[in-house]
Each structure stands twice: as C-alpha cells, then as structure tokens.
Amino acid sequence: MTTPVLKKIDALKAKIDARRPLDAHMLKQVREYFRIGMAYSSNALEGNSLTETETKIVIEDGIAIGGKPVRDHLEALGHSEAYDRLFRLAKNQEITEANVKELHRLFYYRIDAKQAGKYRKRRVIITGTDFIPPAPERIPDLMESFIAGLSEARAKHHPVEFCAIIHRELVTIHPFIDGNGRAARLLMNLALLQAGYPLAIIPPILRRDYLDTLNKTHKGNDGPFITFIAGVCYESTKEYLRLLEG
C-alpha cells in the first residue's frame, strides 16, 4: 500500500542517499545524536525518569544522576549497548530469533541477568488494556512462526509498513517478562536500518497516541498503528536530513 506519507519518506531518503557516502565524522555525530534520542525516548515511554540531558550524561560520561533510581541508569546503559548491536546486525538482510533474544539480552542483563534474552515462563497482565498476552507455553511456537514469516512480509510491504508490523507482532506475542516494548522498538529500527532508512524515534509526548493505536492492533485494526509509525518515521527522517544539512 502506497500512501502520501510513505512517498514523502522515500523522497527524503533519496535526498539522504544522494549525500552518500557520508563523511565519517558527520556519520559518527549523527549516530551519537540518535543513540541518546532513542535511549531517552524509548525508556521514557516506559516510565524512566531520566531527562534527555541526564540520559546523555549517564551514557557518555558514566556519571550517576542524584535522586534518580538505579534501574533508570541501567536502562539507559543497556539501551545504548543494544543500539550498537543494531548497526552490526543491520549488515545482514535477515532477522533471526537469536537476533531478537540478543537485543533483549543486551538491554536487560544489567537489570535481571536470569531473564535477559529468555522467554518468560509466567503469565503477565498488562495494565491499562484488556489485551491478554499469550500463555507462556505458546511463546516458542509463536516466535518460530513469526520469524518464519518475516521474509514474505518484508517482500510484501513497504519497509516502513514492515517495521510497524514486526513491532506489533512482537508486542502481541509479548515473549519476555519485561522490556517487550523496548525490544519491539529496537527490532523495528533494525528493519529500517536493513532497508537503508534512518532510525525512528517515538517521542514520549506521543505516548497516548502510540498506545491507543497499538491497542487497536490487538482488536484486528492495524491501520492506525501503521499510520502512526509512518508519521514517526517521516519526522525522524526529516530530522536526519536536517542534521546532515547542518
């Protein structure tokens, strides 16, 4: 399905591609800019109290922020480490089950090493929604089916639609005891990088729209969520080009 916003994203991507190969110094700066932005926003969506500036201080300077929970610091460091892995995984054109587990492990091992990268063994309840995640014994088969269908889905959909679909699918399976949203956002960005698109950041100010459209997918309506993710990708691509143009 082609929509005006997807055409706009592709037009911006063409402008970015015209500047390749990017200057190594500029590329490093842009990557660090998105490292902090992604870590801050993805964690803030889940209630992390660090500001964007505090996230930068924790990640780049290794300095603890007084009065802030230890876990919030660990989430920032974990997300930064998973972010680095994205670029290594993006060199391949496939997503494996091991990739999904590895991204979760890197984000989560400082918080709970025993659960990091491991499928949950207990039922979970998600507050604020009537969605009930699958029983834990179904997760291995659901994840196997999910991964097996990725090649067909990638070929069928625009890369932005594809990244929204795999985000939705992973959150619906809810394979981990915690950190599923962050794992899904890392996964969707892996798909974007593999397709040559800039990373996408979901601003915390859009949290309600994000959750509302995601909840609709659980009732069989993917349209609003795909539209939401496309809008986020458009804004992030604009920001990427702005940085390059200086």
pLDDT digits (tens, 9 = 90+) for 7-28: 999 999 999 999 999 999 999 9
pLDDT digits (tens, 9 = 90+) for 58-85: 999 999 999 999 999 999 999 999 999 9
158 phi and psi angles, rounded to 5 deg: -60, 145
Q: Could you give the CA distance from residue 73 to residue 38 in angstroms, rounded to a whole number?
A: 14
Q: Report whether pLDDT(36) > 90.
A: yes
pTM for this prediction:
0.97
Q: Give me the catalytic one of 73, 104, 167, 174.
A: 174
Q: What was the pLDDT predicted at 2?
A: 54
DSSP class of residue 60 equals I
Residue 160 near residue 9 (C-beta atoms within 8 A): yes
Q: What was the pLDDT predicted at 191?
A: 98
Please compute the mean of the pLDDT values over residues 132-147 and round it to a whole number: 98
Q: Could you give all domains of the chain from N- to C-terminal order, each with its CATH number?
A: 4-245 (1.10.3290.10)
Q: What was the pLDDT predicted at 1?
A: 52
Burial of 109 from C-beta contacts in 10 A (0-12 / 13-18 / 19+): middle
Could you tell me what percent of the chain has a pLDDT over 90?
96
- Is 79 labeled as catalytic in the residue annotation? no
Average pLDDT taken over every residue of the chain: 96
Going by C-alpha positions, the residue among 158, 169, 182 that lies closest to residue 217 is 169
Q: What was the pLDDT predicted at 3?
A: 85
Q: Cα–Cα distances in Å, from 6 out to 98, 161, 191, 206, 233? A: 30, 9, 16, 20, 9
pLDDT-derived band at 220 (thresholds 50, 70, 90) equals very high
User: Directed axis angle between helix 4-17 and helix 223-245, to 10°?
Assistant: 30
Please compute the mean of the pLDDT values over residues 187-208 and round it to a whole number: 98
Q: What was the pLDDT predicted at 129?
A: 85
More confident residue, 1 or 239: 239
